[in-house]
Amino acid sequence: MRSKKAEMDVEYNVEDEIVSSDDDTMSVDSEFSTASTVKTPRTVSRLKKETTLSRTPSVSSAKKPKASLSRRSTFSAVKSTPSMQKRAASKIDQTSDALSLYEKARIKLHVANTPDCLPCRDKQFSDIYNFIETNLRNQTGGCMYVCGVPGTGKTLTTRQVILCLKEGVNDKILSPFKSIEVNAFQVTEPHQIYKLIYKELTGENVSAEHAVTLLEKKFEHKSNESIVLLVDELDMLCTKKQDVLYNLFDWPYKKNSRWIVIAIANAMNLPEQVMSKISSRLGLSRLIFQPYTHVELEEIVRLRLEELNVFDMDAILYAARKVAAVSGDARRALEICRRATELAERDTSKKEGKSLNLVNIGHVDQAVKQMFSSAKITLLTHASKMEKLFMKAIILLYQKSGMEETSLNRIIETHNFLCRAENMQPLNRTQLLNVCCSLASTKLILLEPCKNIYLQRVRCNMSVDDIEYVLNDNK
Amino acid sequence: MCSVKEIYSEAKKALNASATDRVVGREKENDEIYDYLASCFGNKNGLSVYINGQPGTGKTFSVNTMLDSLKEEFKFNKIFLNCMSVKNIQNMYKTVLSEMISNKIDSNLAMPKRCTKESLQKLIESCITSIKHHLVLVLDEIDQIETTIKNASDIYKLFELPYLPNSKLILIGIANSLDFTDRLLPRLELTPEHKPKVIKFLPYTKDDIINIVKDRLSKVQLMYDNCVIIDDKALMLCASKIASTNGDIRKVLDICRRAIELNEQEAKLTNLETIKTVNIAQMMKIFNAVNPITNSNLDRNTMPLMQKILLCTILLCNIETKVKEVTLSKLFEKFNKICKSYSTSVDSESEFVNLCILIQDNGLIEVKKAKEVRNYKLSLKIDEQELRDKLQDETFMADILTNRAYK
Ligand SMILES: Nc1ncnc2c1ncn2[C@@H]1O[C@H](COP(=O)(O)OP(=O)(O)OP(=O)(O)O)[C@@H](O)[C@H]1O
Ligand SMILES: Nc1ncnc2c1ncn2[C@@H]1O[C@H](COP(=O)(O)OP(=O)(O)O)[C@@H](O)[C@H]1O
Ligand SMILES: [Mg+2]
Ligand SMILES: [Mg+2]
């Protein structure tokens, strides 16, 4: 299963780490100072288009580092908001002496590190931007449904939009608004989201039940401030009655309401699954984040590394292709690359030479194997010889009969046969029962209880390929 | 001369759902409600009205507007309650009572110390039979109480409130379900005169829709020397398309707003001095873009390769076993076999499960969970032939689907 909650925790922790490591004064990279002249988001988006155009045809020339470097710097200067650049730059700069190139690359590649720029999401950025901006200017409410599989930059893009709009407020182009971000993972039960929203809005702690009535009260009077509500991981808020979803999307439609709700979810067909009155309110402003292609993933990693020259370009491409074929998840691509730098660093320190090892395809491949080989494979790799033979007996029987389940009796027979074939003393029944139980306790095999212990059905809980892979590897 | 941008902005604002307080059309329904209410205010008795219709047919809007305008003619109090967030009958009575208190309907009213269902009900009953002016209680999404209030006698008591002797309560229920009255109310065995008056809001027709949009835009058009924002043909297209599905006015407004947005973007490229009219081609473009069938990554041709291979594998399994469900372990095995012959692979079982979930997010398959991951059951959620056609577009997939070795 996707363990998003765990992922989030990790992100937060590391963010703390990074932030706490910089305590000196801020220094702004000269390269970025040009950006401060670019103020209005409109010009940003126009310039963005130009840079995208000039960028796209030359992807194949990415291997020429010099050319791509200059393109990169102009791109990032135009693209991101000034304050973000300050933050990102200061994080890296102050630590520059202490950290090795590898470490710098790893910080840059960390998913929790907000990138200096947001490549490949120009259209989505401007769609969300225009939607919120129009509603802010017209003092109206509205809702937008943003969906796409994990790691496609939904949360990131939306946050950037809000940051960008906030900057518009600072520059007095827009009137002030309030923004609230809630994540359904922050609550244990869907209705608690009201409590969270109310707390973010007013700072007061009230019960969920009370919070919803208080929120509804707010709509009786015309408010003089727009509220942008970002609800992340909306899928988690589905209840049987769907009342939470209904309320979230009904608020923007209340008379004089100035709520702008941006709902982020994974499922693309959610609007078709909910009650018709909810999908009616959800409207047609649906924005889909497609999985990244390998070209986009490569660019994302490359732009993060900027001038740090630690990666072999082929290695990035390899990682990008690997991820794009399966999920197109940027988070994953970044994690693989980060792990690969660790492996490369280890190689360098072993070599004891001064020269730096570039991260190459071999490192990436190794990283992929380490990260995604399952716990079961590791378990079996470290299992005892007899346990391995037990598994081997199961797959032998499976290959012979084609049935997924076999009785323990037949396995014992086969096990004895295998032992003799390998010149080992066969185990007695009780000993084998112990082996069987220990395998079952690690869930490598599944048992279906039966009165007669030796007649109980056994099936392996791991793919045959994986078992063969481990067994053949150890010979 | 005003800026073009301003016109676009005003037009979009006018099309926002909550931008107006004028009901266009719906004369028959509104007259009916008016007659009921007016007779009731005159006769000094209670009444219950039940309004039903599909989403976005103007039920809530009509009732609220009507009550606001009646305020000028009659003296009454109004409480609006959305049953969506009502947890149980007690919770509902409590909310009503606290609204009564805060609206100062009866100066002697106070929240009881112990809020049992009975005590709350007693209080409300005594209040509505003793007040001077009528109290209108609007219960929006009333069909939801069926799921929360399991006890039919509680609902019965609620519907009987307007008919207590001297009761001054007018109960207006609003809901989508057409059969709420037919299914639930007979069970309550209300006497014929106590049955709620039922008013149906039929979906908006093509002409209704055109009138509503025109009315909203007319103000803007007047303000800016009668420029035409959406041309008649385009509006006609939009209206007839929506009227033929569910007549949801929210959808209409949304589509018109997006058409204006599209027009604005296209106009920006040419730097015109005056506003361009939304034409039928632009309206068509919006309709094509919002078609929900083109939603999954597969349709947009952005689906990662492995996910497509997995879909092929499910198809093959279904053909092979003639059963619509396939277990994850079986699928994984076949999938690996296919992957191997194209020299790709996924790295582990958990990766494979992840892959399945990603396709589920696209709405193409359903993953039924079981205790053990390997016993998860997968089934297609779209038509087999349709999927086959989509996959066959690509030579690689067609190759997998037709290769005998995998069958
Ligand atoms: N006849 C009309 N004239 C003008 N505007 C209308 C009309 N009917 C509906 N609208 C607009 O459509 C919006 C949605 O209508 P409303 O909230 O009444 O829907 P509903 O029928 O209550 O739907 P649901 O069952 O989903 O609650 C209103 O905010 C209103 O602005
Ligand atoms: N276009 C992009 N450019 C740079 N980094 C990106 C991009 N898209 C995603 N990422 C990285 O992937 C991570 C996950 O993105 P996020 O928006 O949280 O995904 P989700 O779609 O699941 O909300 C981000 O924190 C960021 O580090
Ligand atoms: Mg997210
Ligand atoms: Mg309604």
Bridge partners (DSSP) of residue B377 are B327, B368
pLDDT for A117-136, tens place per residue? 788 899 999 999 999 999 99
Report which protein residue has its CA nearest ligand 1's atom 5.
Answer: B23
CA distance A114 to A466: 37
Write out the CATH class of domain A294-371: mainly alpha
Which pLDDT value is given to residue B2? Answer: 58
pLDDT in tens, A327-351: 899 998 998 999 899 888 888 777 6
Q: Where in chain A is the domain with CATH 1.10.8?
A: 294-371
Determine whether the interchain pair A250/B82 forms a contact, defined as Cβ–Cβ distance below 8 Å.
Answer: yes
Q: Tokens in use for B284?
A: 């068509």
ipTM of the complex: 0.87
Please tell me if the CB atom of residue B217 comes closer than 6 angstroms to any atom of ligand 1: no
Contact B256, B230 (CB under 8 A): yes
Distance between CA atoms of residues B295 and A267, nearest Å: 10
Calculate mean pLDDT across residues B66-88.
90
pLDDT score, position B324: 87
Q: Which atom of ligand 1 is nearest to the CA of B208?
A: 1
* pLDDT score at A165: 95
B251 lines ligand 1 (CB under 6 A): no
Can you name the CATH fold of A122-289? Rossmann fold (3.40.50)
Residue with tokens 């969920």: A208
Q: Does B292-407 carry CATH code 1.10.10.410? A: no
Q: Look at B104 and A239; give whichever has higher pLDDT.
A: A239
At residue A30 the predicted structure's pLDDT band, cuts being 50, 70 and 90, is very low
Residue B291 pLDDT > 60 = yes
| pLDDT of residue A170 exceeding 90 | yes
A142 DSSP β-pair partners = A260
pLDDT of residue A353: 59
Chain A residues within 8 A of B355 when measuring between CB atoms: 326-327
User: pLDDT at position A19, please?
Assistant: 38
Please name the residue that has the structure tokens 């979803």.
A245
pTM of the predicted protein model: 0.79
Bridge partners of B198? Answer: B50
The sign of the torsion formed by the CA atoms of A426, A428, A430, A431 equals negative
pLDDT surpassing 70 at residue A471: yes
Pairing of strands A286-289, A142-148: parallel
DSSP state of B129: T
User: What digits encode the pLDDT tens for the residues A58-89?
Assistant: 333 333 333 333 333 333 333 343 334 444 44
**Residue A70 belongs to what H/E stretch?**
helix A65-79
What 3-state DSSP class applies to A208? helix
User: Which two three-digit tokens encode residue B273?
Assistant: 């001095």
pLDDT band at A294 (very low <50, low <70, confident <90, very high): very high
| Per-domain residue ranges of chain B | 1-18+205-291, 27-201, 292-407
Statement: residue A40 has pLDDT above 70: no
What is the distance in angstroms between the Cα of B85 and the nearest Cα belonging to chain A?
6
The residue written with tokens 């800016």 in the block is B224
Max mean pLDDT range (A148-157, A306-315, B37-46):
A148-157
Range in A61-75, A300-314, B37-51, B272-286 the model is least confident about: A61-75
How is residue B275 annotated by DSSP? P
- The C-alpha angle B82, B83, B86, rounded to 5 degrees, equals 115
**Could you give the CA distance from residue B137 to residue A439 in angstroms, rounded to a whole number?**
65
Tell which one of A11, A84, A156, A183 to mutate to probe ligand 2, the residue whose CB is within 8 A of the most ligand atoms: A156
Which of 65-104 (B) contact A at CB < 8 A? Answer: 82, 84-85, 87, 91, 95
A310 Cα–ligand 2 center, Å:
22
What is the mean predicted confidence (pLDDT) over A453-466? 83
Q: Is the pLDDT of residue A93 over 70?
A: no
Query: What pLDDT band is residue A179 in, cutting at 50, 70 and 90?
Result: very high
For B27-201, CATH gives: 3.40.50.300
Asked if pLDDT for residue A194 goes beyond 90, the answer is: yes
Judged by average pLDDT, the poorest of A137-141, A372-376, B65-69, B275-279 is A372-376
Give the Cβ contact number of residue A366 at 10 Å.
15
Least confident stretch, A96-110, B219-233, B272-286:
A96-110
Residue B377's pLDDT is what? 92
pLDDT at A305 exceeding the cut of 90: no
Cβ contacts of residue A60 below 8 Å, gap of 6+?
Answer: none
Average pLDDT, chain B: 86
Architecture of the domain whose range is A377-473? Orthogonal Bundle (1.10)
Q: How far is B388 from A354, CA to CA, in rounded Å?
A: 57
Share of chain A above pLDDT 70, in %: 77
Q: Give the pLDDT of residue A352.
A: 61
Tell me the chain A residues in contact with residue B51 when contact means C-beta distances shorter than 8 Å.
none
Distance CA B154, CA B178 (A): 21
DSSP state of A98: T
Q: Where are the beta strands (DSSP E) in A218-318?
A: 226-232, 259-265, 286-289
Query: Comparing A2-11, A212-221, B337-346, which segment has the lowest mean pLDDT?
Result: A2-11
A134:B332 CB<8 A = no
User: Which pLDDT does position A23 carry in this prediction?
Assistant: 36
| Sign, Cα dihedral of B316, B320, B321, B327 | negative
Please give the pLDDT value at position A6: 43
Q: Which residue has the higher pLDDT, A293 or A117?
A: A293
Instruction: Report the distance separating Cα A333 and Cα A297, nearest Å.
Output: 7
pLDDT of residue A262: 96
Q: Which of A243, A290, A325 sits opposite B306 (nearest CB)?
A: A325
Q: What per-residue confidence (pLDDT) applies to B300?
A: 67
Looking at A212-221, B105-114, B186-195, which range is the least confident one? B186-195
Tokens standing for residue A391:
């598994």
Contact A168, A39 (CB under 8 A): no
Q: Which regions of chain A carry the CATH code 3.40.50.300?
A: 122-289
Q: What is the mean pLDDT of residues B292-320?
A: 80
Going by C-alpha positions, the residue among A452, A392, A449, A380 that lies closest to residue A424 is A392
